[in-house]
């Protein structure tokens, strides 16, 4: 193979990886939007259809909005829009930072502070039941999209 053929093969591989990452992010976002929406509706139903304090809305609505934005940017990533890579990287980093901050707050001022063993058991149970994907998918997207081949692919005109 000459240098041009190798570059084309590398670019085709990078394009395929972007397609895979984009598809995984789209599926992940749709599942999270559906789950968050259903949880919000279930919380409202359990409260009798109204919520005086707004605590459920403050918890679930930002998640629905965040994953809707992630869905939109993942679709733009699939179309190789110039700023989509940076947006997806930023949203994935924000997602991971929110998870870390939430856990830190739980163990410093939340219920985990009062009963750390119970909080650790709950966190492990949540990870085993599917919350691990909240970490795996963003980390995977960051690892793939930070590579130099991806950077070159999105910098090209």
Q: For residue range 40-81, list pLDDT tens digits in order.
A: 888 777 777 666 666 666 777 888 999 999 999 999 999 889
Q: What is the dihedral of CA 144, 83, 96, 135, to 10 degrees?
A: -40
What's this model's pTM, rounded to 2 decimal places? 0.82
Tell me how far the alpha carbon of residue 64 is from its chain's centroid. Answer: 11
- Label residue 6 by pLDDT band (50, 70, 90): very low
Q: Which of 84-88, 96-100, 106-110 is the least confident region?
A: 106-110
Q: Tens digit of pLDDT for each residue in 137-153?
A: 999 999 999 998 888 88
Residue with tokens 């570059």: 7
DSSP for 86-147, please give it: HHHHHHHHHHHHHHHHHHHHHHHTSHHHH-HHHHHHHHHHHIIIIITHHHHHHHHHHHHHTS
């Amino acid at each position: 193979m000459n240098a041009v053929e190798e570059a084309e093969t590398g670019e085709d591989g990078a394009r395929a990886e972007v397609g895979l990452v984009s598809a995984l992010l789209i599926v992940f976002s749709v599942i999270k939007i559906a789950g968050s929406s259903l949880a919000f509706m279930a919380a409202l139903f359990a409260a009798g259809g109204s919520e005086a304090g707004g605590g459920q809305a403050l918890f679930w609505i930002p998640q629905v909005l965040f994953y809707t934005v992630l869905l939109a940017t993942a679709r733009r990533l699939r179309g190789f829009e110039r700023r989509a890579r940076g947006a997806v990287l930023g949203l994935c980093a924000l997602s991971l930072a929110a998870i870390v901050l939430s856990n830190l707050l739980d163990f410093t001022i939340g219920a985990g502070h009062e009963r750390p063993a119970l909080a650790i058991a709950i966190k492990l149970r949540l990870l085993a039941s599917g919350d691990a994907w909240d970490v795996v998918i963003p980390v995977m997207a960051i690892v793939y999209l930070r590579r130099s081949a991806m950077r070159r692919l999105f910098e090209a005109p």
